[in-house]
Amino acid sequence: MKEAVHKQSRVTEFLSRAPQGVFVGYAIVAAFCTYFCMYAFRKPFAAATFDGVTFMGTMVGLKTAIVISQIIGYALSKYVGIKVCSEVTPQRRALTLIVLVLWAEFALVLYGLVPNDFKVIAIFLNGLPLGMIWGLVVWYLEGRRTSELLLVGLSCSYIVSSGVVKDAGRAIMEGTAALWWINVPVVGAAIGGWMGAVSEAWMPAVTGLHFLPLFLLSVWMLQQIPRPSDKDVEARVEREPMNRSDRKAFVRKFGFGLLMLCIAYFFLTAYRDFRDNYQVELLDALGYPYDENKAIITKAELIVMFGVLGALALLNLIKDNRTALIGAFFVMTGGMALMGIGTLLLEAKLISGFWWMTLVGLGSYLAYVPYGAVLFDRLIASTRVVGTAVFAIYLADAIGYTGSVGIQLLKDMAGSDMSRLRFFKGFTYFMSALGVICLTASCLYFMRRLKHDGGAIDNGMPNRVPDSAT
């Protein structure tokens, strides 16, 4: 094993010998906290509304311009991540994670300093490094017999963290951070009650700063995780960095199936981002003003998190990779259908606005989370391709966040007279129908490929001698 090339820390040696439950618990906590803290640098700005303020006197609202600018930076980060995250070596992952988050925090300080119209530049610079964090964390977790549990645990971080950091941002702006942390005790001691109200401009930087110590600790914990064991490799295939030739061969081999997945993800990412960035406004339109419902976003996202965790954790019980791949598609397609069903129930007045937001959140995350977790991990394991799921994840992510930019512009420019709530309802119906069609087509394609090739597909990639330095 490659661990023998470098001296292991005591924590790594302990985890290598520890019972599986101990290892899984440690890895989930480390990964969850790392990505949870990243959201404190990415999403707090969304808690500000900038009511009535437009961008440079145009029809585009200032908040929309800020949201779009960060998404553009984040999308570009995904394109860069296709190469960087596919090729990064284990020795450089931790340092890369720290550098990227410090970059994001410095951009938030700039966001606080500059006038409103120039905040779009600062938030673009903030999004530029953050899109690579996910792939760097996934590298520590993929290719293991327990990868479903580990990756689902990681995925739960962004389901709940977005709501938590926005609630934190609102509390910091109101000067009630200490009281807020009593309700959501993550790193409450770090904030305390010493700080008064903070402006909308400085709130993102202040929020990120309070999460930085926990982020650094979490990255150190990640770096102690041992590489996959021989049994892991036997069950899930060796995971290696992919060079340019490997990446091209992968896309050629699975073109149609990947295309269907990317079309669905193009719109799904835009849908998830719209709900995420405008939750405050959507809930207000549904009759839940934030001033009277200060923890409502966190409550909804906690329900969503546990729903997704329960559904996807069941996939870890499936040992056969082909069956598990079908199971992942089933969960994703069911999530797409749930979004449309939930909207029908709302319009029939059978459920409240809170439960509608919760159901469409659950449905969208049931479809979204497997893209960054179990779907591509099981696809690699089923086809026996030597590579990394990180590449496929980043290919989909780059396309997905490109779609998110387009949908944001469509709403404010083509649908400027339409309320965000009305737009979101129509988008939900569209996303539900398109998602079911694309995911079903992709699933049938991959099942036919596996059946035709006898359960495993020759990867069609150039032969490589694994680099012992990785």
Q: What contacts 410, CB < 8 A, 6 or more positions away?
A: none
pLDDT of residue 258: 87
* Count of helix runs (H) and strand runs (E) in the chain: 20, 0
Name 61's bridge partners. 54
Residue whose structure tokens are 């359960």: 455
Is pLDDT of 418 > 90?
no
Query: Mean pLDDT throughout 108-129?
Result: 92
62-87 and 255-277 helices, crossing angle to 10°? 140
pLDDT of residue 1: 39
Is pLDDT of 371 > 60?
yes
Alpha helices in 43-146 (DSSP H): 62-87, 90-113, 119-130, 133-141
Residue 6 lies in a domain: no
C-alpha 48/C-alpha 51 separation (Å) is 9
pLDDT of residue 414: 59
pLDDT tens sequence across 273-325: 888 878 888 888 998 876 666 678 778 888 988 888 888 878 778 878 888 88
pLDDT of residue 186: 38
Domain span at residue 157 reads: 11-452
Query: Mean pLDDT throughout 231-235?
Result: 75
Residue 356 structure tokens: 């509608």
* 53 and 119 Cβ atoms separated by less than 8 Å: no
Residue 253 lies in a domain: yes
Q: Is 239 helix (H, G, I), strand (E, B) or coil?
A: strand
Q: Which of 14-23, 232-241, 418-427, 459-468 has the lowest mean pLDDT?
A: 459-468
Residue among 173, 415, 138 nearest 291 (CA): 173
The number of folded domains in the chain is: 1
pLDDT of residue 171: 78
Q: Which of 167-171, 252-256, 449-453 has the lowest mean pLDDT?
A: 449-453
Residue 342 lies in a domain: yes
Is pLDDT of 163 > 80?
no
Residue among 374, 32, 365, 459 nearest 214 (CA): 32
Q: Between the ranges 127-141, 171-185, 300-314, 452-466, where is the mean pLDDT highest?
A: 127-141
* 151 and 377 Cβ atoms separated by less than 8 Å: yes
CA dihedral 156, 158, 160, 161 (to 10 degrees): 140
- The CATH number of whichever domain residue 109 belongs to comes to 1.20.1250.20
b/e sequence 173-202, b meaning 16+ C-beta within 10 Å = bbeebeebbeebebbbeebeeeeeebebbb
Query: Mean pLDDT throughout 156-180?
Result: 71
DSSP state letters, 379-393: HHHHHT-SB-HHHHH
Question: What's this model's pTM, rounded to 2 decimal places?
Answer: 0.70
pLDDT of residue 333: 96
b/e sequence 21-52, b meaning 16+ C-beta within 10 Å = eebbebbbebbbbbbbbbbbbbbbbbbbbbee
Query: Mean pLDDT throughout 391-413?
Result: 72
C-alpha 103/C-alpha 94 separation (Å) is 14
For residue 450, what pLDDT band results from cuts at 50, 70 and 90? confident
* 16 and 226 Cβ atoms separated by less than 8 Å: yes
Residue 463 structure tokens: 């032969």
Is pLDDT of 128 > 60?
yes
pLDDT tens sequence across 32-87: 999 999 999 998 887 777 777 778 877 777 888 888 888 889 888 888 888 887 78
Is pLDDT of 467 > 50?
no
Residue 391 lies in a domain: yes
Residue 291 lies in a domain: yes
Is pLDDT of 91 > 80?
yes
Residue 49 lies in a domain: yes
pLDDT of residue 465: 36
Residue 466 lies in a domain: no
For residue 134, what pLDDT band results from cuts at 50, 70 and 90? confident
Is pLDDT of 4 > 50?
no
If you average pLDDT over every residue of the chain, what do you get?
81
Residue 375 lies in a domain: yes
Is pLDDT of 269 > 80?
yes
Q: Between the ranges 101-105, 194-198, 293-297, where is the mean pLDDT highest?
A: 101-105
